[in-house]
Structure 1
C-alpha cells in the first residue's frame, strides 16, 4: 500500500484503501497558511455512500409519506442524518455533501407530490423548499450543516 501525497510522488497500482466506512486516498487539503497541498486523508467510502443513498431511497419519501407534514419528515430523518454527519463528516466533510444531496432531491420530490401546483415544476419545488430552509434553518440537520436547496427570491 502506497500512501501518495505531496511528499511521496511515486506511482503505484494501489494508492487507496477502505477501512471502517472511510476511503483513505490522496485528497486536497490546506496548510495553516492557507496553501493547498495533497495529503493522504480519509473520506466517506463509495460503498458507504451507496448504502446511505439506498437507505434514503428505501424511505420512499414522495411515494408513501406525502400525507405527512414537513416537520414530521424532519423528525423521522434527522436522527439518521445526524449520525451520518457525526461519523462520516468527521473527516473531509465535503466528500459527504454529494451523498446528502440525494436526501435533498428526495425532499424536492416530496414537495412535488405534496403540492399539486408544484407537481410539474421541479425548480419551483426546490425554490419553495429553499425558502422554508431560509425561514427555518434548523428544521433539518443537513440544512444546519450548510446543505440547502436553492433559496429562490
Structure 2
C-alpha cells in the first residue's frame, strides 16, 4: 500500500473549483484577453506545478472548465461571436497566434 501525492477529488472539486467560480471570468467583459491572462496565469500555473506534478489527468477537467469560462467570456464580450461556431473559430485563431498567452495552453490549447 503506497501513498499517492496529488489532490484528492474533494480538494480539487470544492476548493479549486470554487476559486475559479469566484473569478467570474465571463462577467469581466471590460478586460482584454491579455489582462485576463495576466490575472489568472500565476494562480493556474501554480496549480499546474503543484497538482499536475504527479497526476496531470486529475487537473485536466479543471483546466477545461477555465477554458469554458474563457469561451463564455468571448461570447459575451463580442456580439459577432455569440454563436458557438464563431466563438470556436475565434478560440482557434487566438490559440494558434498566441500559444503561450494562458498557462493552461502549455498543456493543451484546445477548448475541448
Q: For this structure pair, what is the TM-score category when the shorter chain's length is used for normalisation?
A: 0.7 to 0.9
Matches within 5 A, 1:37-48: 41-48=4-11
Q: Which has the larger radius of gyration?
A: 1
2:80 pairs with 1:80? no
Distance 1:43 1:95 in 2: 9
Give the ranges of 4+ consecutive aligned residues of structure 1 lying more than 3 Å apart after TM superposition: none
Name the TM-score, length of structure 1 as normaliser.
Answer: 0.66
Point out which structure has higher relative CO (alpha carbons under 8 A, 6+ apart).
2
Query: What is the CA deviation profile of residues 21-77 of structure 1, one whole-angstrom value per residue up to 9, with x for unaligned ones?
Result: xxx6xxxxxxxxxxxxxxxx44431122222111111111112x1011000000001
Count, aligned residues: 111
Structure 1 window deviating more from structure 2 (77-86 vs 92-101): it is: 92-101
Query: What is the CA deviation profile of residues 79-103 of structure 1, one whole-angstrom value per residue up to 9, with x for unaligned ones?
Result: 0101100100010211111111110
The structure carrying a bigger helix percent of its residues is: 2
Unaligned runs of 5+ in 2: none
The structure carrying a bigger strand percent of its residues is: 1
3-state SS of 1:56 partner: helix
Which residue of structure 2 aligns with residue 55 of structure 1?
19
3-state SS of 2:100 partner: coil
| Root-mean-square deviation (Å) | 1.8
Name the TM-score, length of structure 2 as normaliser.
Answer: 0.88
Which residue of structure 2 aligns with residue 127 of structure 1?
89
Residues 62 and 106, structure 1, Cα contact 8 Å, conserved in 2: yes
